[in-house]
Amino acid sequence: MKKIAILGSTGSIGRQTIDVVENNSDKFEIVVLTANTNYRLLIEQAKKVKPKFVVIAEKEHYPTVKEALFEFDIKVLAGINEVANVATITEVNFVIVALVGYSGLLPTMKALENNKQVALANKEALVVAGELITDLAYKKNISLLPIDSEHSAIFQCLVGENLKEIEKIYLTASGGPFRGCTTEQLGTVTKKQALKHPNWSMGAKITIDSATMMNKGLEMIEAKWLFDLQPKQIDVIVHPQSIIHSIVQFIDGSMKAQMGLPDMKLPIQYAMSYPDRIYSPFLRFSFLDYPELSFEYPDYEVFKNLKLAIYALEKGGNIPCVLNAANEIAVKQFLQEKISFLQIPEIIEKTIEKFDFKEHLSLENYIETDTEARRIAENIL
């Protein structure tokens, strides 16, 4: 029985993880649920799942959550620090990091430090401090299990393979809602349009990242650390149908691809059940429903965020941390309708220009870099 902590249970991944657990209650037990601000859904989930611990990061909601769960045998905690601390609880042996953005870094580090198996749906932790996290996982002899559909696909293709025999990996991208658009067309994009993804149902931040193609850039950086690759071994290809989730090409020229309908429950369940596969009631893919699968290269000049992310991937050091922080600020400003869609890469690029390159950083250095990058990004415009 895996005793699970879901960090970010009210988000898209967190909600679907609960569904997977409910379908496999003989294999998984939820011990911890955490949420940032969505206290109403957290209360609803806690009453249904009955975990031993619940954490609401926004302390102002603590009294409401505590009162609502008073009659249940659930310990209610509050604050960002407690979100990280519950990853260390003795009863927990499996931590799913489904937090959004930079907030996933410290909980991931704490979970690994306390010898917990970690499943990552939070790519930003590896983007910001991939060297620290992978070094710690190596020292603890813990495999980082990817939940992102693309990285899960690569992970599945590599079972039984030698990582040294990888020639290249291809991360597939749907192209988002603006595939084929010109820069001029992107100049009039609205928040509502950007939040309408053609294939996936995701949270607001990752949906905007998909629309700008920053999400694919972050995934390239994440893949470097997960699979110990060089930048030249990582490529992106647009695949509008989202059926092939990613591809591995080996040194003999052969290729492996992982396929399936676009449903995040599959990679979630695979990470949770690994190294085994367990039955699922998910819809099955039929080739007859998809007689044509198409592919194309992304437009790096139109989607400048992808180009900036590749620069950060190749540069390394503190630059991916700066890229991520500036992107989080820019996306937040776009969602608040303070800036235009095309100003997102502008803010990121100008923020990166303010930083001198530093190659090796401590956790404290990464925290300082993130804080400073956010301050700069907020004041760019």
* pLDDT tens, position by position, 222-236: 999 999 999 999 999
Report DSSP state, residue 9: T
pLDDT for position 381: 75
Question: By three-state DSSP, how is residue 68 classified?
Answer: helix
**Calpha distance 338→191 (Å, rounded):** 11
- Please say if the pLDDT value at position 168 is more than 80: yes
How confident is the model over 307-329, as a mean pLDDT? 97
- At residue 202 the predicted structure's pLDDT band, cuts being 50, 70 and 90, is confident
pLDDT digits (tens, 9 = 90+) for 74-98: 999 999 999 999 989 999 999 999 9
Residue ranges of alpha helices (H) inside 179-213 are 183-186, 191-194, 204-212
CATH for the stretch 2-146: 3.40.50.720
Q: Which residues contact 60 (CB under 8 A, 6 or more apart)?
A: none
pLDDT for position 198: 74
Paired tokens of 199: 């294939």
Least confident of 17-26, 190-199, 204-213, 265-274: 190-199
pLDDT digits (tens, 9 = 90+) for 243-293: 999 999 999 999 999 999 999 999 999 999 999 999 999 999 999 999 999
How confident is the model over 197-222, as a mean pLDDT? 88
- Please say if the pLDDT value at position 199 is more than 90: no
**361 touches 355 (CB < 8 A):** no
pLDDT for position 150: 96
Mean residue pLDDT across the chain:
95
Q: Where in the chain is the domain with CATH 3.40.50.720?
A: 2-146
For tokens 């599945």, name the residue.
156
Q: 184-209: b or e for each residue (b if 16 or more CB lie within 10 Å)?
A: eebeebeeeebbebebbebbbbbbbb
Report DSSP state, residue 296: B
Contacts 24+ apart (CB under 8 A), 286-295: 290/241, 290/243, 293/239, 293/241, 293/243, 293/244, 294/239, 294/240, 294/241, 295/237, 295/238, 295/239
For tokens 């923020």, name the residue.
351
Tell me which residue of 129, 171, 130 sits closest to 149, measured CA to CA.
171
pLDDT digits (tens, 9 = 90+) for 348-370: 999 999 999 999 899 999 999 99
**260 touches 280 (CB < 8 A):** no
How confident is the model over 69-73, as a mean pLDDT? 94
pLDDT digits (tens, 9 = 90+) for 106-123: 999 999 999 999 999 999
How confident is the model over 50-68, as a mean pLDDT? 97
**265 touches 16 (CB < 8 A):** yes
- Please say if the pLDDT value at position 101 is more than 90: no
Question: What is the reported pTM?
Answer: 0.94
- Please say if the pLDDT value at position 203 is more than 90: no
pLDDT for position 14: 96
pLDDT for position 200: 66
How confident is the model over 299-325, as a mean pLDDT? 97
DSSP H or E segment with residue 245: strand 244-250
- Please say if the pLDDT value at position 346 is more than 70: yes
Residues in a beta bridge with 5: 32, 95
**Calpha distance 163→171 (Å, rounded):** 16
